[in-house]
Each structure stands twice: as structure tokens, then as C-alpha cells.
Amino acid sequence: MKVSLKEYISNKKPIHIIGIGGVSMSALAELLLSFGVPITGSDRSHSKVAERLERLGAKITYAHLPQNVENTALVVRTAAVHDDNPEIIRAREKNIPVMERAEAWGNLMTDYENVICMSGTHGKTTTTSMMTLIAMQAGADPTVMVGSHLPAIDGTLRIGSKGCFVAESCEYCNSFLNFAPTIAVVLNIEADHLDFFKDLDDIIHSFRMFALRTPQNGLVIVNGDDQNAMKAVEGIDRRVMTFGLNKNCDVYAENITTKNGYYAFDIIIDGEKYTNVTLSVPGKHNMLNALAAVAAAYELKMDSDKVAKGLEMFTGSSRRFQKLGTMECGAVVVDDYAHHPSEMRATLETARAMNFNRIICAFQPHTYTRTKALFNEFVDALRLCDKAILAPIYAAREQNTIGIYSSDIAKEVSGAVSLDSFEEIEKYLRENAKNGDLIITMGAGNINSIGYSLVEK
């Protein structure tokens, strides 16, 4: 049975959210609360996010219990919450509809005039954040859902008007196939999430289906420099706009200059200069992210000066080459969420352009399947730093049935060390870091905690 979220919103029926403290779930809860919907939720542990929702009126239980769903009309869950969850079991017994998180967001999107969905193997959070600042600067009053804390909106959600919705859109478990973009952006496509997708062709097909989620009069914006992304949109009956660094793209960069890893460039659209941009985040990859956001802004007829200003104002989001501080010895510490070899390469190449004496990377691989599938690529990426320190693999949702370890990577990277705990890594860095070094804590797990410890006085 297809369930429409709008019916629950308009009738103010109570909705229960399992895992309400999660990034996307907490944003969903806050948006629903703003519409006057009674919200209950459950989570395993207290968090600042959950406490904020309680202040806004949500009633939260810090345990998964069958009685939590007794008085609700609808249950929303993430893909991480399985059918054996006691709340799901009870909801099924009582015939209470259960909706997936991505389906709920997709339902909500249909209420907005322009929905810009940012997808891709890498760069989603950054490009969503760039688009947010552009739209705010251009006076579009966007509603925003982004996957990392964005200082400009003090969180992961901004509640704006119904004219513009900017949404980070993830391919894992095909969740973005529930979304309703009017503008679908495909930043790049690579092999990832091979615990879910069969192979690269399966991933390309998923992105193709995502592009076809746009209406006939919608737009697909795609990286013209990325072969897989172009393959995904080949021959689709939608309007396609390309961006990239070659002049065959509809939107491209020209007169590029770089200073200490930061890029400035002209943006050419349909052969005409649209604007000039100076980025406040380093790295060549961010030039491509900016071009994608500008293509969407151009389609929405946003003022070019305000677009340039919005991009300039973007200084980064949490865990994306985020400067945490400086150690007593003078070494600079940054944290980066990179957990795929291509992201790692982009981050380390950016660091290379920033004139540090040494780049020391403390890397925490993320999931056993990814480490196994992309083993050689991880080795190649880590060879870009001067010293690699490997933390134990972050299991996330997996068990180590493969028998793979961080020490296997360390053996292949000259001078690399593999240590068994964060305490050992922190101790190693304190003993070996020097003034003029850049220390990067890298990975999608909890390795950033080391960086914070290093810079605490």
C-alpha cells in the first residue's frame, strides 16, 4: 500500500521516527515538527541533536520498545532499521504503515517548485552546501537537507520557502530513487558501496534511473569530464547540461589561477562569460563542485554576482578538509571525511599544493568490503602522503568475514605504520609531528576524535 506523507501532515496525525538522532532522520523530524505534526521517536543514545528535537516538542524514548508505536499513525525508519526491530514488529501487528526515510523525503519534495538534488560518488555534501549559500545569497530562501553540519545554517536542515529545495541525494541502497528532483545533478560515478551494488554497471544504471526521476521539463546536470556519468545519461529523453574543465561542456572554467591550493576562475556558459569566482575552499575537485552548483543556479536564473558571492562565502562544511587547529609543536591538524580512494587522492593532492613540509595522514578504512574491493587504489592513494598511519578498519554495518586488516595496506605503503588503537596513534603523532607538518585525520568513521585531542590545549 502506497502511503502519502502529505495526508498525515495535513491531518496532523502522529508520526514515529525510529533512529531519530541520525543526521537525515533528525532533519526530517524537525521539518515535520515545523508543520505542526506530533512527533515521537526512539534512539539508542542521548545526543545534542535529540535534545534539540525534545525542546522543539518531540517525545523521544532512548530504547527500541514495542510500546513506542502504540499511539502513532505512521512509522518512518532508515534502511539500517530491519524488520526484526521490536517497533517494526509491533507496527506490523497493528497494521500501522511503515515508510522508509528516503520515501518520506521524496514525498515532501513534491510540495516544492524547484528541487535540486545533488548526487555523485563524491562531493555531494560540499556541492549541496555551495548551492545552499548561492541560493541564500540570491534570495531564494531555500529549504535545505545536507549530510554534514553546515555552519551557514547551523546544522543539517534549513527550513525555507516552498520555492526551492536543495537536497543531498545518496545512491546507497538506491535511496535517491525515492526523490523527486526537478534538477538532478550527477557529479561523478565510481565503484563504491559494493556491499549493495553488483558492479560498476549496476551503479551507472542506478544513476540513470535517478536522472529519469526528473520530469520531462526538468534538467539533468552532469559532469562532462566523467565517462561513467556521461554513460548514465546517454540517450535519455531529458534536457542535459554538462559542466567540466573542457570547452566542449556547456558550463566550464577558463582563466584558472591557483594560490596555495585555492582556485580562482571565470565561468563560461554557452560560450559567454557568466561570472568570475574565487573559492574559499581549496582543491581542484572543488572547482568542479562549484561548476555543478553554478549550472543549477543558472537554470534557476539567479543573479550571477550573487552566485559568485555565495560561492566565495562558502568556507567548508564539517569534516570536509576542516581545520581543527594547531598542535603545540606548530603542526596544523585538519579532518577529512574521505573514505574512497578518489576522495583521498583529491584531498592529498589539495594538501600537496599547500606548501607544508610534510603531509602525515592518519587513515581509518571504512568497511571491510570497501577495503577489500578497492585495496590497490587505497595503497596508491596513501602513497601521496609523506607518512601514513593506519587505524583499525571501521566496521560500520559489517563483520570481518573476509579476513582483511589495516596492516595489509600498511605493508604495501613505504614507511606506513598500522597501530591498534586511537591512543597509540595520538601518542605516535605527538612524538613525531613537527612545525610545518600538516596532519590529516581521514575516514568516515570516528577518527576525527584524534584530531580534536591533538589540538586541545
| DSSP symbols for 233-283 | HTT-SSEEEEEESSTTSSEEEEEEEEETTEEEEEEEETTEEEEEEE-SS-S
Q: Tell me the average pLDDT across 171-179.
A: 89
Residues 216 and 199 in one domain: yes
Residues 370 and 416 in one domain: yes
The verdict on residue 432 lying in a domain is yes
Domain-ending residue, one of 313, 342, 375:
313
| Catalytic entry in 30, 87, 124, 132 | 124
Which of the 8 DSSP states describes residue 73?
A: S
Domain-ending residue, one of 313, 334, 360:
313
The verdict on residue 244 lying in a domain is yes
| Catalytic entry in 30, 103, 168, 190 | 168
Angle subtended at Cα 306 by Cα 300 and Cα 308, rounded to the nearest 5 degrees:
100
Residues 256 and 366 in one domain: no
Q: Tell me the average pLDDT across 365-371.
A: 91
Query: Annotated catalytic, 457?
Result: no
Domain-ending residue, one of 100, 129, 164:
100
| Catalytic entry in 125, 127, 132, 441 | 125
CA distance 132 to 126: 10
Q: What's this model's pTM, rounded to 2 decimal places?
A: 0.79
Q: Which residue has the higher pLDDT, 388 or 151?
A: 388
Residues 68 and 140 in one domain: no
| Domain count of the fold of the chain | 3
Q: Where does the pLDDT of residue 146 fall: very low under 50, low under 70, confident under 90, or very high at 90 and above? A: very high
CB 246 within 8 A of CB 268: no
Q: What is the pLDDT, as a whole number, of residue 1?
A: 56
* Domain around 52: 5-100
The verdict on residue 83 lying in a domain is yes
The verdict on residue 105 lying in a domain is no
The verdict on residue 106 lying in a domain is no
Query: Annotated catalytic, 125?
Result: yes
Residue 438's nearest CA partner among 423, 455, 422, 421 is: 455
CA distance 22 to 32: 15
Q: What is the pLDDT, as a whole number, of residue 131?
A: 97
- E-assigned strand segments in 247-386: 251-259, 262-269, 272-278, 322-326, 332-336, 358-363
Q: Residue 424: give its domain's CATH number.
A: 3.90.190.20
Residue 397: count of CB within 10 angstroms of its CB: 9
pLDDT tens sequence across 58-83: 999 999 999 999 999 999 998 788 99
Query: Annotated catalytic, 168?
Result: yes
